[in-house]
Amino acid sequence: MRAYPIKTRYIRKGEDFIPIVIEAIKNSGIKLEDGDFVVLSEKMVSTSEGNFIDESKFTPGILAYFCYYWSKYIWGYFLGKILKVKEDKIKNLRKLPKEETLKHKQAIIETVGLRYALKPYAEGGVDLTNVPGTYACPLPKNPKKWAEKLHKEIKKELGVDVVVMISDTDATYKVLNFYITALPYAIDGIISGVGVFGFILGRLADVLKIGGFAGCTPLAIYGDYKKYTIGDLVRIAYICDRVHKTIKNINEVLEKYNTYIITEDILEKLEHTPVVVVKIKEKYYSSYK
């Protein structure tokens, strides 16, 4: 298979993404065919829904303090090492900024629940990148509806029957013959809703050599996809995540625009590829392993 990132303009909060996606595909020079995958980042859908939370408005309680110290010390010095979390992530956990982390953890607790706040990072799919100000972006409220709607619009406008997938960058793990994620929900066939326990089981499976990282997590899918296994679908989601262009270093962006905060005006000036077309029959070339 081969993946083609599709450039779109920045989608503002509450703006309908479907006509923007269709227009971007038309202008990409890529000819869609029956059976191709059109994969969307979950953030595009959440932003279109207006699904933002302002973390500055949350007042940390005792559980937020517990989650902060749990992430910084238990994960940073104990569990992270045992479960072979990447060294750069462990270093970042040990340097967690207290004030911002407390508000973030409180937002996670109130938005998705304590079992997600206990995860050391990427808690519950709540995203802090490519969003303005002190906002955070939870997972879409109704991804299945949007996947179906985009599928039908593509068929109507472009005359092709594709598979539409909405995916999140967070991991899906294989544990023996099961697939599990730490996200609140996923497509059928992936165990979800278990919070930090999904992360622990996935990392433990890797340590014990009974599974491990399988790919990224499809949240919703619509179209003729039944011939694909869960392993196929999470791998497709992973490949799409690898070719997305996102902010790599937030500090470089802040320095370039001489500001302390990301605004919608700055986001509009950055390059965004929240849509990826995957052609299953083409050979995939990648430098990633």
Residue 256 has pLDDT above 70, yes or no: no
Q: Residue 285's pLDDT is what?
A: 44
Structural tokens at position 245: 């262009």
Over residues 80-111, the pLDDT tens digits come to 999 999 999 999 999 999 999 999 999 999 99
Q: Residue 281, Cβ neighbours under 10 Å: how many?
A: 9
Half-sphere exposure of 85 (CA within 13 A, CB side): 23
Q: Which pLDDT value is given to residue 252?
A: 59
User: What pLDDT, on the 0 to 100 scale, is given for residue 134?
Assistant: 84
CA atoms of 221 and 39, how far apart (whole Å): 9
pTM over the 0.85 mark: yes
Query: What SS3 class is residue 147?
Result: helix
Q: Which residues contact 255 (CB under 8 A, 6 or more apart)?
A: none
Is the Cβ–Cβ distance between 105 and 68 less than 8 Å?
yes
Q: pLDDT for 121-175, tens place per residue? A: 999 999 887 787 788 999 999 999 999 999 999 999 999 999 999 999 999 999 9
| Strand residue runs (E) in the chain | 2-8, 37-41, 53-54, 135-136, 163-175, 178-181, 211-222, 272-279
- 40 token code pair: 């969307």
- 78 φ, ψ (degrees, to nearest 5): -130, -75
